[in-house]
């Protein structure tokens, strides 16, 4: 039986509002979504959240600043802004620790929490094509970034563009995941976002610090990822003291969507182990 999704909004430092949804009961798992036009916690993890709740976890689905139902200021978006506003909202929500599941930018946020915020008791880390493990400029050389150029942030941005951008995140064999409902959901958010949420993101290179992460890490990567190269998995394998990695053929940037059944099964086994 599906759990009921509840949602609350919290005013955090800077006067911003951060929306937090949740379902299920048990040990806490915080899902941290990635970037992109229309992204939100619920839409990025729609095929995963209920499965984790059914497995006995309290699933937390925040919307990062600039995304979902949270505030979307016209400002710079350094990684620490995402991290601090998220942690502030989680604390007000009564969450001071738990496992972290992060995709892309969300993976970088999870790493920064583990590295620099001991006030949050991180359990294990599940990271899907995590960012922030190389210099920011190197990510802009990836072919997926070039394909993401669009009218986002302007009146010309439309649902057809939204559909194309979602499709770019995945391998062509995963096109069936680009449903009308997903396009509608993300387009409704994208229309409220300024260009700043993508154009003014500033991310550090946390790769040299991976050896400081003592928590167990599970990294999942698509071999056909055009945004965060699968070769970055080796950075984790070489540096982190407790890490395992799983890669998928014919899979792009959205492992949790394109390989949802396998992602859910392997990630839960990791958390339960």
Catalytic site includes residue 253: yes
Of residues 254, 232, 269, the one with CA closest to residue 111: 232
The residue from 33, 171, 232, 253 that is catalytic is 253
In this predicted structure, what is the pLDDT of residue 155? 86
In this predicted structure, what is the pLDDT of residue 146? 82
pLDDT per residue over 206-253, tens digit each?
A: 999 999 999 999 999 999 999 999 999 999 999 999 999 999 999 999
pTM value is 0.97
Write out the two tokens for 270: 């990791």
Helix axes 180-190, 159-168, angle to 10 degrees: 110
pLDDT over 90 at 3, yes or no? no
Of residues 111, 88, 116, 89, the one with CA closest to residue 100: 111
How far apart are alpha carbons 49 and 57 in whole angstroms? 9
In this predicted structure, what is the pLDDT of residue 1? 42
Cα distances (Å, whole numbers) of residue 74 to 3, 71, 77, 264, 273: 35, 10, 9, 36, 43
Write out the two tokens for 217: 């890490």
The domain 6-272: what is its CATH number?
A: 3.40.50.1820
Write out the two tokens for 28: 């806490």
In this predicted structure, what is the pLDDT of residue 148? 81
* Mean pLDDT of the residues in the chain: 96
pLDDT per residue over 31-72, tens digit each?
A: 999 999 999 999 999 999 999 999 999 999 999 999 999 999
pLDDT over 90 at 150, yes or no? no
How far apart are alpha carbons 61 and 49 in whole angstroms? 8
How far apart are alpha carbons 19 and 222 in whole angstroms? 29
């Amino acid at each position: 039986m599906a759990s009921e999704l509840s949602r609350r909004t919290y005013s955090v430092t800077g006067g911003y509002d951060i929306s937090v949804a949740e379902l299920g009961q048990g040990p806490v798992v915080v899902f941290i979504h990635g970037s992109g036009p229309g992204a939100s916690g619920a839409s990025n993890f729609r095929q995963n959240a209920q499965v984790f709740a059914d497995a006995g976890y309290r699933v937390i689905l925040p919307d990062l600043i600039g995304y979902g139902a949270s505030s979307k200021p016209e400002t710079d978006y350094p990684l620490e802004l995402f991290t601090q506003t998220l942690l502030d909202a989680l604390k007000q929500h009564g969450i001071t620790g738990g496992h972290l599941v992060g995709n892309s930018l969300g993976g970088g946020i999870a790493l920064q929490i583990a590295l620099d915020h001991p006030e949050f008791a991180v359990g294990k880390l599940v990271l899907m094509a995590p960012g922030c493990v190389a210099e920011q400029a190197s990510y802009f050389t990836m072919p997926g970034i070039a394909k993401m150029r669009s009218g986002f942030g302007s009146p010309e941005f439309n649902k057809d563009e939204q559909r194309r951008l979602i499709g770019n995140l995945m391998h062509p064999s995963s096109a069936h995941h680009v449903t009308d409902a997903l396009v509608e959901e993300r387009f409704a958010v994208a229309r409220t976002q300024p260009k700043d949420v993508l154009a003014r993101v500033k991310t550090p290179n946390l790769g040299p610090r991976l050896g400081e992460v003592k928590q167990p890490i599970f990294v999942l990567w698509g071999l056909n990822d055009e945004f965060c190269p699968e070769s970055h998995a080796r950075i984790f394998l070489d540096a982190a003291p407790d890490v395992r990695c799983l890669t998928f053929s014919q899979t792009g940037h959205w492992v949790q969507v394109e390989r949802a059944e396998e992602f859910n099964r392997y990630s839960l086994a990791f958390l339960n182990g």
